[in-house]
Structure 1
Amino acid sequence: MNRTPPAAASKRFGFRLERWHRRTVYVTGAVLFLSGVAWLVLRYFMRPVSEFGETVNPLEPWAMKLHGAAAMATLFFTGSLLHLHVRRAVKAGRNLLVGWSLVAILLFLLVTGYGLYYLAGEADRPLWSVLHWAAGLAVALLFVLHIVVGRKSVAE
């Protein structure tokens, strides 16, 4: 089997997304991440205390609604990467470890997000929640790593 060298393959396949596509992925991902962080801060550090005890911060539901909307947009734009970006990178053998790790953690976030919304009961909701937000914080670092490794492999 004749395999094209990675440098020649990157010129032939063209991994770089168009500017509008790249920016849309970045913006939807940033809104998703920031709305999740906002929810965490509101939930764990900014709950008002009334005469009846701790209550829900009035911004908490809005952060969750924004997070859900951003999740749908992110799903759409992440899916749009499968045909050109992911398939071409796999064919060329570029950035595979970080790329597949990113896909795996995104799938984990999809499952835990779905689980929080539809499957988790009151008893197991805290576990689902911690798994989801811990993976959400990690995916941001992995996403940045994916970009850095990808750009570094182009420069080589």
Structure 2
Amino acid sequence: MCKLMRPSRFTKKILYPSLLLIAISGITWLIGHYFLEIQGEFGPEKHPLEIWSLRLHGFFAVFGLLCLGMLLEHHIKTYLKHPKRWWTGLPLLAVWIWLVISGYLLYYLIDDQWHNAFSLGHWIVGLISVLAAYLHIVGKKY
């Protein structure tokens, strides 16, 4: 029964690289945004690394959404019927839902007044998601 609940090899081949590339591009954006400011002709400017890492982060997030959809179909739906297995899965799912919603809001809907707060919330939860995913994937096996 447990084997049927785990993600397929195909899902893992898309999921793990996607999660890694989302994390790397997000962390690269953080470094570029907070530590690599350059001086332009008219004052401080964004470093090109910040801009390109954000573009890649959005690109890889599309694959992350694909993976989430694949996981929802079998893995998550099945595990919701087994409450004793929720200790890492539900927090991870909540984190991913927050990242999807806040990422969408940052890109499409948030005005300048709210942008910094949502950005801070997005990247803090994003860093937490790396730990949450690690605990869920390689943590205690059932």
Q: One fold, TM greater than 0.5? A: yes
Q: Taking structure 1 as reference, are residues 10 and 89 closer, same or farther at Cα in structure 2, changes over 3 Å only? A: same
Mapped partners of 1:44, 1:60: distance in 2: 9
Runs (4+) of structure 1 exceeding 6 A deviation are none
Match in the other structure for 2:51:
61
Higher RCO (CA < 8 A, seq sep 6+): 1
Q: C-alpha displacement at 1:65, in angstroms?
A: 1.1
1:21 matched to 2:11: yes
CA RMSD of aligned residues (A): 1.6
1:4-153 equivalences under 5 Å are: 9-10=1-2, 14-149=4-139, 152-153=141-142
In the alignment, residue 108 of structure 1 is paired with which amino acid?
Answer: W
**What is the TM-score of this pair, normalised by structure 2?**
0.91
Question: Sequence identity, in percent?
Answer: 34
Mapped partners of 1:86, 1:28: distance in 2: 18
Q: C-alpha displacement at 1:105, in angstroms?
A: 0.9
Aligned residues: 142
After superposition, what is the alpha-carbon deviation per residue over 1:12-39, rounded to whole angstroms, capped at 9, x for unaligned? xx22222231121000111111101111
Q: C-alpha displacement at 1:51, in angstroms?
A: 4.5
Mapped partners of 1:84, 1:36: distance in 2: 28
Looking at secondary structure, tell me which structure has more helix per residue.
2
**What is the TM-score of this pair, normalised by structure 1?**
0.83
Q: C-alpha displacement at 1:94, in angstroms?
A: 4.7
Which consecutive residues of structure 1, in runs of 5 or more, have no partner in the other structure? 1-8
Mapped partners of 1:143, 1:66: distance in 2: 20
In the alignment, residue 27 of structure 2 is paired with which amino acid?
Answer: V
Mapped partners of 1:138, 1:77: distance in 2: 19
Q: C-alpha displacement at 1:59, in angstroms?
A: 2.4
Which consecutive residues of structure 2, in runs of 5 or more, have no partner in the other structure? none
After superposition, what is the alpha-carbon deviation per residue over 1:29-79, rounded to whole angstroms, capped at 9, x for unaligned? 111111011111011101112353211112222111111111111001111
